[in-house]
Structure 1
Amino acid sequence: MMNVGWARDEEAGQIQALLAADGLFLEGGDWRGLGKTWLCVRDGEKILACIAYHPGIPFARLDYLSIDRDVAGLSKARVVRSILEAAFAVCALHGSSFVSGVVPYDLPDYAEFLRKRGGQQINEGFIFVASLSDVLKRRNEVYGRLKNNHDDEGRAHS
């Protein structure tokens, strides 16, 4: 039986495998706390699909929708619908008014779901993924500079 829920840390390997099947090979990184930003569709213990959500005001972002290659036809459409409805609901509960993301070419069901709900294509481009490992090594330095560039009221200095 299919169900949707937050990702669990012990599922990081399955999520990484789904992403790798889509061509996104990631080494390293801290995969703890997945439930804070990832949703999964499961059939028992097997992850059928996953998506990262990033609530924001007014815009939320959905990224890395990945579906198991063995899921096809109506099942695939149900999986896409289930995970997107859950992701939209979570973002709305966090106060987001809009959601944006990239629709992969091989997921026409995803595009159709979005169109039926008023989604519109705004531009074309490419997806990039960059490692923040160098930034993470210097995060205190970078954070200090950001903090120094704002006054006590949170306004940026010009």
Structure 2
Amino acid sequence: MTTPGPVYVLNGPNLNLLGQRQPEVYGHQTLDDVVTLCAGVAERFGRTVQARQSNHEGDLIDWVHEARTEASGVVVNPGGYTHTSVALRDALVTLEVPVVEVHISNVHAREGFRDHSLVSPVATGVIAGLGIEGYGLAVEYVCGRG
């Protein structure tokens, strides 16, 4: 029996500032807290995570390409690229594993431009507004799929 690949947890621009940037919106927990949470959930399923963050669109796309052959699923918070990146959307559509889009805040209760996601139509599911707990739920979903 082959061990499933890691769950890729990919975070886009400004998520490196979690806990510092707009804590009234995003909370006080940090990206390290997100990674710890995801790793703990994955471990319960005998899995690992590959957690990465970049403020650069091309890095995210390269990691999605890598995930095509390495990952058992992808949890992605594209940050601002959610609303702007056709290139990231086009990379995600090539995946044959579950893809869960995660947002810490409820994007639908914020500025109007946040209502439109280019990622949601190609994601298996979307979790928004549950704080960093949404990441844990997403990892649990991915791990339960294979």
Regarding TM over 0.5, the answer is no
Q: Highest Rg: 1 or 2?
A: 1
TM-score by length of 2: 0.34
Q: Identify which of structures 1 and 2 has the higher relative contact order when contacts are C-alpha pairs closer than 8 Å and 6+ apart.
A: 2
Please, what TM-score do these two structures have when normalized by structure 1? 0.32
Higher helix share: 2
